[in-house]
Structure 1
Amino acid sequence: MLASRVPQGRILSAAGSAEDGILTAGDLPPHRARVLMMLALLEERPASELQRLLDTH
């Protein structure tokens, strides 16, 4: 998962990142993205659903 600690540092999906298994945090700060991923990974979910969670929260 890629996240930025810079206040205006939105992380966008790069070409090929999804195929490489890299999730992007978008506007979420790293500490919030980490907590969201810890909760989401309590159940088995495909990477596409994990990315959707990051994009919508």
Structure 2
Amino acid sequence: MSPQQQTPEPHVAPEQSQQPVGGAIIDEQGQEIPITENMIQRACQELEKDLTKPNTDNS
């Protein structure tokens, strides 16, 4: 008998994950708002928009 070979299913992250990732922010009313993966991805996208190349001109 040969052992069964299972191909691992690829892990595909949902496009818009609303699951908390382990942190929270406090709003103006003092309520905790869980931080989601979607919130982190949006923040990273905003940072990438503002990213500029360093000036390499050595004059």
Q: Shared fold (TM-score greater than 0.5)?
A: no
Could you say which structure has the higher helix fraction?
1
If asked which structure has higher relative contact order (CA below 8 Å, sep 6+), I would say 1
Q: TM-score, normalised by structure 1?
A: 0.30
Structure ID, larger Rg: 2
Q: TM-score, normalised by structure 2?
A: 0.29
